[in-house]
Amino acid sequence: MAELTIERKTPNVATPTKSRSLWQRTLRYKESYLLILPTFVLILIFNYYPALSALYHSFFEWNGANVNKFTGLTNFITMTQDAILWQSFGNLLKLTVVAVAISLTFPLGAAALIFHLRDLKFAYFYRVLFVVPIVVPSLVVLMIWRFIYSPNLGLLNEILKAISLETWTRPWLGDFNLALYAIMFIGFPWVAGIGTLIYLAGFQGIPAELLDSAAIDGANTWQRFLSVELPLVLSQIKLVVILTIIASIQSFGTILVMTNGGPGTNTMVPGLFLYRNAMQYNKMGYACAIGTVLFAVTLVLTYLNTRYLKSSVEFSGA
Partner 1 sequence: MKYQKGLSRREFLKVASVTSVGLALAACAAPTAPAGSGEAAGATAERKVVRMYAQGLTPRARLETDRWDPPQAMLEMEKAYEEAHPDVDLEFIEDLPQGYDEWLVTQMSGGTAPEIVWYQRGFIARDYEKGWFVNLDPYLDQPNSYIEGNQKWKDAFQGPVIASGTAPDGHIYMITGDLVGTGVFYNKTMFDAAGITKVPETWTEFEEVQKVLKDAGHIPVSISMDLAGGVQLYGSWSTRIIQDVMYDHKMADLNDGKPVDRTWKPGENLPPQKMVRAIRDGKYSAEDAEWKEMLNILKGWSVHWPDGFWATPPDDVYRLWAEGKAGMAWLGSWMNKPVRNDPLVEFEWGIFPKIPTITEESSPFGGLDFPAMAGVGGVFQYALTSESEARGTLDATVDWMRFITAPKNLITLLNDHGGFAPGTVDTTGADPSLAVYTDMLVNLGAERIEPFDSMLSREFVDTMWNNLQQFLAGQIELDAMAQTTQADMKAAAEQLLSEHPDWA
Partner 2 sequence: MSRTFKHDFPLHLVLGLLAIFTFYPFIFMVITSFKTSPQFIHDFWGIAWPPTLANYRDAWSRVNGYLFNSIIVSGVSMVGVLIIASISGFVFARFNFPGRELFFFAILALLMIPSVLTLVPAFLLVKDLGLINTYWALILPYIAGGQIFAIFILRSFIAGLPEELFEAARLDGASTLQAFRSIVLPLSKPILVTIAVMNVLGTWNDYIWPLVTIPDSKLWTISVGIVTFGSTLRGLESWGPMFAGFVIASVPMIILFVFTMRYFIAGLTSGAIKA
188 makes contact with partner 2 (CB under 8 A)? yes
Nearer to partner 1, 172 or 203 (CB): 172
Nearer to partner 2, 71 or 145 (CB): 145
Burial class (CB in 10 A: 0-12, 13-18, 19+), 11: exposed
Q: Which of residues 174-203 bind partner 1 (CB under 8 A)?
A: 174-176, 179
Q: Which stretch binds partner 2 (CB under 8 A): 66-74, 162-170, 259-267, 272-280?
A: 272-280
Q: Which of 133, 207, 264, 317 binds partner 1 (CB under 8 A)?
A: 264
Q: Which stretch binds partner 2 (CB under 8 A): 81-89, 168-176, 190-198, 222-230?
A: 190-198
What minimum distance in Å lies between the beta carbon of 89 and partner 2? Answer: 14
Task: State the binding partner of 256 from partner 2, partner 1, none, CB within 5 to 8 A by kind.
Answer: partner 1
Nearer to partner 1, 40 or 176 (CB): 176
Q: Which of residues 98-157 bind partner 2 (CB under 8 A)?
A: 110, 113-114, 116-119, 122, 124, 126-141, 144, 147, 153, 155
Residues that bind partner 1 (CB under 8 A): 63-67, 146-147, 149-153, 170-176, 179, 256-265, 276, 279-282
